[in-house]
Structure 1
């Protein structure tokens, strides 16, 4: 049986920050239904793909009804009848339909939501987990990076750098490396408290002490790594 995309539908929902974002549902001819919600960063560079927002006064101008309409209209029309199993062709079709270098016409939030939902639908249709459908059967745990101090637009403090991340350089296993990160994280909390600062969290879960500079944050992070029994690099 040939499986094809029957319909693509989107709606406006709210993300964890209370901002509007796009949710997409993809329906396949074999009865498979999958959905995806589009994440949104607190900061976006001028060279990044464009999140299509409505502007105006409604929802502080952050509404995404234009992006939703693009999914339900032009994107749905372009993808109906296509195979969900050719992810590259799906993505290429949407990029060509948009026709801009930064996805400003259809919106990166529309294109990304559809791309993710199609991939999930295809994986579910084949009764495979998404990671296996996209990457094959060779399993390898990633090298993880952990956000431990927040600044910039992710926190109300004097730190310019937005994310201070750490990763275990020397480890005997994934668990060993992760335990070193956990030890450093909890030690960092103590270092911040001992310095007389609050240990509230920033927008992405790292500590957001009201430090005066990024240099001060780096010194505090180095101290925490050393007190946890490791060597900063």
Structure 2
């Protein structure tokens, strides 16, 4: 046993310049640090972070969450076995007393949970990905884990860009490559081709929260067409060497009062059935292999209908629908509503909850996609998490901004100095094997 000796927390700033929580856990002379990210397009059902309110940072301060760590969580966990992640997380959940972790704050809870995980790997004398693979890996993944296929943001809209088209993210998925290095080279080629187009058209290559370009576009189809052209310009074959993915984030332009999707860029209002038709048309017209949050977060009927129409050739990926929650994942699988789940540790609130979602997804033939948030930090834990758990896919953001590159660079480091299985497309997802 290695007992937790000390827990400290303090307020730092994330990639949007907003306050967030950083926690350090010490045990036996080792120290693990974890910094909590934050989302902009948050789902109604996800764990609830704690913010101060008031005038300071326009209410977004986290001194109350820091105090929750210092005053309540630290006395509970100090003296506990740092290797007992499940027991530690369960004790903090019980202390909080809510499913959403809203009393202490999910940012306070995850800060301690994540820092304890990093301390445990240090005490074990193992890189984090290897510790995760050894302790929490699944059958078919060896003790070195498996490198994920990256899903890389190139064009942004919606709440991540605050202007232009409503669809939140347009991404590329390099597949058929046997290394992270090779995947990133393909994605870099495509992103650079888009940047060249922007400059040729006289646009400034400004980027949104996750590093994707946010150009003025006439409509949604133009974004898809721009990416297809960029893949070809970069010398790759659309649908064979590089495919497309999209994060629709449909909840954020869904009007629950009228039960319609309001798409100002198209000058139209859609019923759920009609918007589903539009999504299906995208999958037929473009090399689109993954569609995230294509409908509102509680439209279970619409999700089931759309999933049935799209079939297994396209990944129907639940984020706001599933919020990294085992019960909602089970419901979606039973209903035939999704065949992939986004895994965000801060959406779940603890490391244990996130690990359990990955395990349940793999058990039920659902593709887990470990994901960053739009408000990120240079903490690279999710890179190790994706490798160690053998998740198969990761969604970090674009090839820009240090908070994104820290995670890509960590994957490159693991690839160079470790011995994980190479990236391969999961059977439930997309593209050629």
Q: Tell me the TM-score normalized by structure 2.
A: 0.51
Aligned-pair distance for 1:62? Answer: 0.5
Q: From 176, 191, 198, give the equivalent of 1:170.
A: 176
SS at match of 1:74: helix
* Residue matched to 2:4: 5
Name the CA shift for 1:221/1:71 in 2 (closer, same or farther; >3 Å). same
SS at match of 2:5: strand
Secondary structure of the structure 2 residue equivalent to 1:5: coil
Instruction: Using the TM superposition, give the Cα deviation of residue 196 of structure 1 relative to its aligned residue in structure 2, in angstroms.
Output: 4.2
Q: Which has the higher contact order (CA 8 A, sep 6+)?
A: 2
Number of residue equivalences: 231
Shift of 1:76: 1.1
Measured in 2, the distance between the counterparts of 1:193 and 1:157 equals 19
Please name the residue that 1:68 is paired with: 66
1:111 to 102, 109, 112: 109
The residue that corresponds to 2:25 in the other structure is 26
CA distance in 1, matches of 2:120, 2:182: 35
Name the residue aligned to 2:238.
Answer: 231
Q: CA deviation at 1:90?
A: 1.5
Which structure is larger by alpha-carbon Rg, 1 or 2?
1
Match of 2:35 among 21, 34, 37: 37
CA distance in 1, matches of 2:181, 2:12: 36
Contact 2:129-2:144 at 8 Å conserved across structures: no
Give structure 1 stretches of 5+ with no counterpart: none
Separation in 2 of the partners of 1:87 and 1:101? 18
Residues 12 and 20, structure 2, Cα contact 8 Å, conserved in 1: yes
Per-residue deviation, 1:177: 2.8
1:122 aligned counterpart, secondary structure: helix
Conserved 8 A contact 1:147-1:206: yes
Aligned partners of 1:180, 1:193: CA distance in 2, in Å?
20
Which stretch shifts more, 187-196 or 133-142?
A: 187-196
Trace 1:35-184 onto structure 2 (pairs within 5 A).
Answer: 35-136=33-134, 137-184=143-190
Q: CA deviation at 1:84?
A: 0.4
Matching residue within 162, 166, 188 for 2:194:
188
User: Relative to structure 1, is the Cα distance of residues 18 and 175 closer, same or farther in structure 2, using a 3 angstrom cutoff?
Assistant: closer
CA distance in 1, matches of 2:55, 2:174: 46
Stretch of structure 1 that moved more, 86-95 or 110-119: 86-95
Contact 1:168-1:181 at 8 Å conserved across structures = yes
For 1:202 and 1:154, locate their aligned partners in 2 and report how far apart those are by CA, in whole Å. Answer: 6
Deviation of 1:194 (Å): 3.5
CA 1:173 to 1:10, structure 2 compared with 1: closer, same or farther past 3 Å? closer
TM-score normalised by length of structure 1: 0.91
Report the CA distance shift for 1:176/1:11 in structure 2 as closer, same or farther (over 3 A).
closer
CA distance in structure 1 between the partners assigned to 2:176 and 2:24 by the alignment: 42
2:223 aligned with 1:217: yes
Alignment partners' CA distance in 2, 1:153 and 1:67: 25
Cα deviation for residue 70 of structure 1 reads: 0.9
Output the CA distance in 2 between the equivalents of 1:103 and 1:172. Answer: 40
In 2, the alpha carbon distance for the partners of 1:109 and 1:94 equals 12
For residue 186 of structure 1, give the secondary structure of its aligned residue in structure 2.
Answer: helix
- Quickly say closer, same or farther: Cα 1:3–1:173, change in 2 above 3 A: closer
> How far, CA to CA, are the matches of 1:208 and 1:175 in structure 2?
26
Classify the secondary structure of the residue corresponding to 1:144.
strand
